[in-house]
Structure 1
């Protein structure tokens, strides 16, 4: 069981009793091996039609991934959820077992007139995760914490493959990028208490140790892309 799973099964009850109870939980260390860095721009930019688009990213704890994208200019919504498995098993208790095929994921709604898919990929790989880790992220281990991209169309799949190949060819990391490209997977929103978690509970021990540094890296490495206030969850993407 992942260290994070020693916290999360009791979170619902802890939040019901009050945030103070959750804050008594011990601080967990971060185990990411690759430090954040400002990666190069994609040499294969996305060619996207005008209008609203959705991109789905998985990079371990969805709290942190959501928290990063909620502060990216051009993003209008970022919803924590599950991708890769079935609707029947798209709940936290089932996904935590690691055998549903789901990954904790975030559906990001964006306007390519403000930020393209390849630019979102650049931010994701730069600050939201260590993409060289396999079936884990930081203190959390299991297939549900894998690094994955869930393209919503052929153009996203093309751009994702090209950017990963670009990073590997440039030896951007000491090890190859382990991020998987999983096309055709449906996305299912997570339970309400997981939404906006970083924004609502910035002092939670898990957030402070593992996810807040990702947001700080966004601010430092991509100040021109950082929104001062998070975009909180609206309706889940269709």
Structure 2
């Protein structure tokens, strides 16, 4: 049975009330990437960076999964083959929506990381630069998220899955940041069918998806999942 790899971005969580990155009014129109999402910005002003992520952590904790998150959980549960869900998001809405396994390329807001020894632990609602590491006691606590200039997590696992994929889908992502922007090319090399589900489709010459489904994720994703499961015989046909 087909192996499916799905990449999700900020667009899938936007309908749950979490801001996107590049849309008008998004979080990067109000904060410079250099100030709040780089190791250098954290070194210059850790208090500002912690305040930024404390606010995002609170917002994410209050958000609830939408129909797109729940549909992907259903796909992973009912698909007779493998379904790998990879997300660029740092929220936990996929898990809240019922997905069992999610690879978080960019870490998670609900995690804390020691910049000294690399120890990880669950983040409290509010973090400060002087918080001691539970392992080494160094006051080097930072959010366990991947900043610009740092290597995303799980890359070897994702690239291996893409090399064996029969179907690759990108949902709610602009595809402008590498390495995730290159996933569609990796899937094409493997001979996979590629589909983009997004509010604003990108030009084919930039991201050559074989299929594009424009619209809100809460509408397009459940419909797409229903079609896949019907085709596989895992769901009854509609009326």
Q: TM-score, normalised by structure 1?
A: 0.31
TM-score (norm 2): 0.31
**Relative contact order: is structure 1 or structure 2 higher (C-alpha 8 Å, sep ≥ 6)?**
1
Q: Which has the larger radius of gyration?
A: 2
